[in-house]
Amino acid sequence: DAHTLQEVEALSQQLYGGATSNEVRAEAERQLSVLSTNPEMLDQVRQILEATSQPFTQHLACTSAAKQLTTNWGRFSAQQRLDMRNFTLTFLANKGPTCESFVVVALVSLLARITKLGWFENSEHSDVPKEVTQFLSASVDHCVIGLQIFNELINEMNINKTGQPLSTHRKKSVSFRDRNLLQIFQISLQTLQQLLSGTLGQITPSQDVRLREQSLRLALGCLSYDFIGTSVDESTEDVGTVQIPSNWRSIIEDETTLSTMLQSYTTSQPPQSAQAMECLSQLASVRRSLFPNQECRQVFLTRLLSGIAGILRTRQGLSEEVNFHEFCRLLSRVKSNFQLSEMVKSEVYPDLLSLIATFTVESFRSCPFASNSLYYLLQLWSRMVTSVAYLKGDGESHLDRYVPDVTQTYIMSKLQSARASLQANPSEDPLENEEQLVDQLDSASPLCRYQYDRMAEFLLSLFDPLVTQLQSLAGQGTAMPAQIEVLEGELAWLVYIV
């Protein structure tokens, strides 16, 4: 009734409003907990969501329903579960565009959860993706919500959030992959292409950003899907090969797929531009066996390298840290997935290598961003140098022309970094991060060995003057601990390199 609704709205305000004390908030949470723990309250939760216009109460109702269904799925009848699903979908269609964004997120999450839990129970649950496409052809705001639903569905299907047995989760995940994922990826590309070509009609700048964000997030979610159940830990370095299903081949080979992502990068601002770059990294990592023959793979590689060369010529967006990092990661991923012998066969390779060398040298000299971005560049050159032994006359690597300058610039940048760090804070050891140090030295060592005589000569030209200065200071008898510490730090770095 109206009185109960007013009570729930007041408690929701106390819980989420932020203007109350911790004690009042805790008491409100205690009183409202019955909505999410008592299975008999599910119908009341739906009535509250239907009757209230208060955003906090709408959010409470959605999260309570999600907890109820997740915990007590088996205690509700098939009709109750279906009614909740239909109600949520209808609510999003009728009221979604006027709801607060956090309420839409909660509604979308609820719908995705119901869909995952009921996937094999009723065809109506698994038909949700088909129904969501109706949002895409309605208003722009409905289109954004439709893309949000797809994004959350992918997230829900890809990760076991409900504590179901792993075998049950994988069956649902694989079924969703086979039935819906390719179509959803195509939808993300089509929406981006419509945005880029201006065929969506009159849309506001805000709508453009939201559509772009959701479309790129959706494309990335599709390309990052756990296709074969490896459950990759996102904290690890890189996922390696992307196991795209064979029936995706035509869309991956289609040149508009790469060009759409490249154009999305060049026409977007962060973080959308970085999402587009992440999509390019995933496309660069598709499994070798996806392509029917080496010629098709070579065509794909040449398109990718041409796009990278275009970015390097203009440097568009690379002054932004997130773009810079994802671009360095893309360069490293290309070499991880393609052999040097394949790269040298591309007509753009000589020009591209020159552009990468210039970019690397400039980045080592003056990059204001984190060193883990530069590590990808170091890794790229190290992998290329290591691959020269396997080239076997397939083409000219041209690495002799660039590797010495890249290596010397890297060593000088680390030397200057150690000097600056010790001068600014003598008690701080720039070499104390052993894990990072080992990673960098492992990648630097093949570069140093590539032209050993030149590098030995270069290292001695740095080492001898520092030793002379240190001997001179020690011989003066005058205590100059700060200068001695700096010299010792520089020499320590050179010793590590040697």
Among candidate residues 135, 61, 43, 55, the one with its CA nearest the CA of residue 102: 55
Pair 300, 342: CB distance under 8 Å:
no
pLDDT of residue 231: 57
HEC secondary structure over the chain? CHHHHHHHHHHHHHHHCCCCCHHHHHHHHHHHCHHHHCHHHHHHHHHHHHHCCCHHHHHHHHHHHHHHHHHHHHHCCHHHHHHHHHHHHHHHHHHHHHCCHHHHHHHHHHHHHHHHHCCCCCHHHHCHHHHHHHHHCCCHHHHHHHHHHHHHHHHHHHCCCCCCCHHHHHHHHHHHHHHHHHHHHHHHHHHHHHHHHCCCCCCCHHHHHHHHHHHHHHHHHHHCCCCCCCCCCCCCCCCCCECCCHHHHHHHHCHHHHHHHHHHHHCCCCCHHHHHHHHHHHHHCECHHHCCCHHHHHHHHHHHHHHHHHHHHHCCCCCCHHHHHHHHHHHHHHHHHCCHHHHHCCCCHHHHHHHHHHHHHHHHHHCCCCHHHHHHHHHHHHHHHHHHHHCCCCCCCCHHHCHHHHHHHHHHHHHHHHHHHHHHCCCCCCCCCHHHHHHHHHHHHHHHHHCHHHHHHHHHHHHHHHHHHHHHHHHHCCCCHHHHHHHHHHHHHHHHHC
Contact 240, 336 (CB under 8 A): yes
Task: List average pLDDT for each run of 10 residues in the chain, which is 498 residues long.
Answer: 86 81 86 90 91 93 94 91 93 94 95 94 84 90 95 94 88 93 96 91 90 96 90 51 93 96 95 96 94 94 96 94 94 93 93 96 80 86 89 80 90 77 62 67 78 78 76 66 71 71
pLDDT digits (tens, 9 = 90+) for 421-438: 666 665 555 556 666 667
> What is the Cα–Cα distance from 214 to 167, expressed in whole angstroms?
30
Q: What is the pLDDT, as a whole number, of residue 425?
A: 66
